[in-house]
Amino acid sequence: MSATIVTCAITGNLTSRENHPGLPVTPQEIADSSLEAAAAGAAVVHIHVRDPATGAPSMKLDHYREVVERIRAKDDALILNLTTGPGGRYHPSDEDPAVAGPRTTLRRPELRVEHIIALKPDIATLDLNTMTFGGEVVINTPRNVRVMAQLIREAGSKPELEVFDSGDIMLARDMLADGSLAGHAMFTIVTGVKYGFPATTDMMSAAARLLPAGSAWTGCGVGRMSFPMAVQSFLLGGHVRVGLEDNSYIARGVLTKGNGELVERACDLVGKLGGTIASPGEARRILGLRQ
């Protein structure tokens, strides 16, 4: 078995400072937390940005640029994975569900990857889910994800295919078959989001078996299932993801000190199960990324 890649999801789109008072929000905080995760053993950091004043999710290129520049000034080996997830949420208004409500964030696919085109990160997420998500619906139509996939590829970034249900994997297979995606695919199996894959051994195992042969994949769980699903992913031959995006606690009722502590715990669990942790260089080789 090859070394295990640990990804740290630094801040996410939904976690707030009500969930964890130390959630990284400003570009400097996000960059510092990314470097802390790297020092603890993460080879990949998965990055969302926030409005520094309000903490609300943001897609501003300037915030992404500052985060990337701050990280690269101190660590040019760490693998950067920038999200393209925001911009796909639809909130039907109560008066007329055909009219978008105030929590709608829908944007043209080209606008959702502007920062990828400008900054050319190692990896860019490509969410394939269309599903109920909280009180809204996330919409990623086959046409839109194909547009995004092409632009990500042209930027020289590798798509990380985030899948939340079996239909997402079938869409990925279709995209590989028609050339919308090329080469060995990279997947993240997300479990524990309500109305998506449940965070169970059987479901993660079934999802992994549905992936195209030769795919690199990571498994993760949301909330209290973060560490159990990290271990389950390792035992099934996958890589591992943890981070404040997914979970705010290091133990029952005990808030984590931060992303570094979550990564340390994940690395310790992998080590105790007989695994080794991939360095950024090893992770680049495993994932087929530019050196």
* 117, part of any domain: yes
Domain of residue 173 covers 6-287
* 91, part of any domain: yes
The helix (H) or strand (E) run that includes residue 6 is strand 6-9
Number of domains within the chain: 1
The helix (H) or strand (E) run that includes residue 79 is strand 79-82
Query: Domain holding 234: CATH number?
Result: 3.20.20.70
Can you give the pLDDT of all 291 residues of the chain as single tens digits? 689 999 999 999 999 999 999 999 999 999 999 999 999 999 999 999 999 999 999 999 999 999 999 999 999 999 999 999 999 999 999 999 999 999 999 999 999 999 999 999 999 999 999 999 888 999 999 999 999 999 999 999 999 999 999 999 999 999 999 999 998 899 999 999 999 999 999 999 999 999 999 999 999 999 999 999 999 999 999 999 999 999 999 999 999 999 999 999 999 999 999 999 999 999 999 999 987
Output the CA–CA distances (angstroms, integers) from residue 20 to 85, 142, 188, 238, 255, in the order listed: 22, 35, 24, 28, 7
How many whole angstroms separate alpha carbon 238 and alpha carbon 215? 10
* 1, part of any domain: no
* 88, part of any domain: yes
Q: What pTM was computed for the model?
A: 0.96
* 270, part of any domain: yes
* 87, part of any domain: yes
Q: Give the number of other CB atoms < 10 A from CB of residue 43.
A: 27
Break the chain down into helix, strand, coil percent, rounded to 5.
35, 20, 40
Can you read off the two tokens belonging to residue 158?
């590798």
Can you read off the two tokens belonging to residue 258?
């931060």
* 90, part of any domain: yes
Give the gyration radius of the chain's Cα atoms.
18
* 181, part of any domain: yes
